């Protein structure tokens, strides 16, 4: 099932799922299931899928809706660095012996078709197409053999990043956490359809030109191992998102490097989930200078 959050033309926000027989139609549940906040249903995704097959629905034309990020404000986003061998190599780095993890601010999340705003203090803004894992059940010290029981589903992510700020800061949180830097969606495909997402095709195009093309089975640390590793030190809550890393083909790996400018478009697609389409826009007037305490 492909679950979506949306806003109607009148500004009402709700959630539903893409019709399995007509992908241009969104079905919105009515009744007790609909009254429960979407995020609260993630802990029993199998029960939710079963319940949605029996409820009354409202029907919407997908083209008339504004799709929102499937997860609005998770308690945290945990990202994984250098989780594809070729991406580690293109940055001149060794493949890590254990996952490199770091946090990203949830306020960076934006919708699947929303613009990405350049921050004004970086001229090396780059793309990173990634698989996002959405946690369903609370996960603490979960062995990899049971990891799938704690997954609600999967989303497409673009982990937009400022390469110069990554180098300057010595860590990656600021460089990846600017508002609008985490387009997400267009739906959350539930875990019963994709399992552990072990061989899904990932594609990124910039201005229609193919830049990244890989499959998720090329991960150094696959989904189940990541959940085991992260939940050993950090309790994962329903709705939390794990950004599982990007394959090779990012802008900094080009010869010469190629970064994003205002007017560029980025399409990020993952098999079985869907496609993001984001236009890069100029910096707002309020963000043209790096803050200083001097």
Domain boundaries of the chain, sorted by first residue: 2-68, 77-282
Which letter does DSSP use for residue 219 in this model?
B
DSSP letter, residue 22? -
Q: Which two tokens stand for residue 58?
A: 């409202």
Q: What are phi and psi of 293, to 5 degrees?
A: -95, 0
| CA–CA gap between residue 176 and residue 59 (Å, rounded) | 37
Q: Rounded to the nearest 5 degrees, what angle is found at the Cα of 146, between the Cα atoms of 155 and 136?
A: 40
Integer Cα distance of 169 and 173 in angstroms: 9
pLDDT for residue 289: 54
In this structure, whether the domain defined by 77-282 belongs to CATH 3.90.850.10 is answered with yes
Q: How far apart are the C-alpha atoms of 23 and 34, rounded to whole Å?
A: 21
pLDDT in tens, the chain (294 residues): 999 999 999 999 999 999 999 989 999 999 888 877 788 889 999 999 999 989 999 999 999 999 999 999 999 999 999 999 999 989 888 999 999 999 999 999 999 999 999 999 999 999 999 999 999 999 999 999 999 999 999 999 999 999 999 999 999 999 999 999 999 999 999 999 999 999 999 999 999 999 999 999 999 999 999 999 999 999 999 999 999 999 999 999 999 999 999 999 999 999 999 999 999 999 875 455 555 454
What is the DSSP code (8-state) at residue 261? -
Rg (CA), the chain: 19
Q: How far lies 181's CA from each of 42, 72, 231, in Å? A: 24, 14, 25
* pLDDT in the model for residue 93: 87
Q: How far apart are CA 170 and CA 222, in angstroms?
A: 26
Q: What is the pLDDT of residue 294?
A: 42
pLDDT score of 38: 81
Residues 277, 203: Cα–Cα separation, whole Å = 12
Strand-pair category, 201-206 with 265-270: antiparallel
Judge if pTM exceeds 0.85.
Answer: yes
d(CA 110, CA 187): 13
């Amino acid at each position: 099932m492909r679950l979506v959050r949306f806003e109607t033309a009148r500004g009402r926000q709700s959630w539903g799922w893409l019709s399995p027989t007509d992908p241009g139609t969104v079905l919105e549940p009515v009744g007790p299931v609909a009254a429960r906040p979407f995020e609260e249903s993630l802990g029993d995704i199998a029960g939710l899928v079963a319940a949605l097959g029996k409820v009354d629905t409202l029907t919407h034309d997908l083209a008339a809706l504004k799709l929102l990020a499937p997860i609005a404000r998770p308690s945290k986003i945990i990202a994984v660095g250098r989780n594809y061998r070729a991406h580690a190599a293109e940055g001149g780095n060794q493949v890590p012996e254990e996952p490199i993890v770091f946090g990203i601010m949830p306020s960076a999340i934006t919708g699947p078709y929303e613009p990405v705003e350049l921050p004004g203090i970086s001229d090396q803004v780059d793309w990173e197409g990634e698989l996002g894992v959405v946690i369903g059940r609370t996960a603490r010290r979960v062995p990899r053999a049971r990891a799938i029981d704690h997954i609600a589903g999967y989303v497409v992510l673009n982990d937009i990043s400022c390469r110069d700020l990554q180098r300057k800061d010595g860590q990656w949180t600021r460089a990846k956490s600017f508002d609008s830097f985490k387009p997400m969606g267009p739906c959350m495909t539930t875990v019963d359809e994709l399992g552990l997402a072990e061989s899904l095709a990932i594609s990124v195009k910039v201005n229609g030109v193919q830049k990244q093309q890989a499959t998720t089975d090329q991960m150094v640390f696959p989904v189940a191992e990541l959940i085991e590793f992260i939940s050993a030190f950090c309790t994962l809550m329903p709705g939390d998102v794990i950004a599982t890393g990007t394959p090779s083909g990012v802008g900094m790996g080009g010869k010469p490097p190629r970064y994003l400018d205002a007017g560029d478009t980025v399409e990020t697609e993952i098999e079985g989930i869907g496609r993001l389409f984001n236009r890069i826009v100029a910096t707002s007037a309020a963000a043209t200078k790096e803050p200083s305490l001097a």
